[in-house]
Structure 1
Amino acid sequence: MRNLALPAESPSLSRLALKAYKNTSYVVKVFRLRLVSFSTPGGLRTFVEMTSARKVAKEQRRLEEAEAKVEGEFMLLQAESTRIHDEMNAKLAQITRLRRQRRQVESKGLDMLRRGLNTIDELEQAEKDENAAFEQAISEGTFHDWSAIVEQSEWDSLGLGQFIDPPFVVGGSSSGVAEHG
């Protein structure tokens, strides 16, 4: 078989065949096909049936339209998914913020009760006074006992209470092994 490009003014084509050829040019372009001629046993040249090419072109257009429709629906769903994802992230951030605030209020409330204070303002003032006294003691060089900063219960809350043994911290061997000397 050999490829044959048919010119528009070919005298061997009837007007009907020429019209069919022009209508199927879309298929020819899409599939990069050329109409094929071949010899029949009787010696006549036959061209690919034009109705088949039209059917292919029609099916191609139908599929392209269906594809465009589905792509449009997909884009809408993707935009909706993005909107929902953004809304979920905002709600998660809000939950995180509210939980952090709740823990702070709980912590401050327990601290107020432990200190015997009645308001948050009193607690904030007491914390400011403690911080100022601490900074002053450090700047004067009078603060040497670091164990006063962290109570044993705070080490326990960090899971370090079992590792902090006061006799070894102050002057003993940190390894707990007797020194040879």
Structure 2
Amino acid sequence: MQAPDLLPIEEQLFALSMESIRLFAEAHQDESFYGFGIDCNAEMGIFLLCFNSEAAFAGTAREYVDRFNYDAARLAQLKTNFGDWKYQGFNQDQPHWDAGWGAFQEAIEAYLTDDAMEVEPANLYIERLMRCACRVLVRIERSGILERTRMDPGFTTLVMDHDQDHQEATVRLNTVRAES
């Protein structure tokens, strides 16, 4: 099976993300956000757009302290854990996303989960796909669309694959930024 071409994947991911962010910004004009991220399950071709606010994080932090005895260090990690963000995967609720992304997701998933796929080529493709998602984020940042939302001072962005370490994701994104 041939690997899905990354150029059309990047172009479609960028176009759909821009529309999703535009729609989100229109619906959330009264909120302020500390971060935006792309939460990925690259092997399955899933890319979830995420925003979070300090108010939402404060509620999550209280819950985790009460229920799980989180300390300051674990709360700092929680702040960048897209899975706990209030608006994790908001793009999945928008009709244009499934219509525009479904075929790409299916092609990526079919390629990476093919029984004949070997580990090394799969890992190489996943890394290339993650770099593609980072280029999309850099393009989003440069487009100015994020400014349609109210951004807190110190607003941050990141692209992370599932079960990926924050530092590894930051290094990848910074490398892609330097190349762009």
Instruction: Give me the TM-score of the superposition, normalised by structure 1.
Output: 0.17
Higher-Rg structure is 1
Is the strand fraction higher in 1 or 2?
Answer: 2
Structure with larger RCO (C-alpha < 8 A, sep 6+)? 2
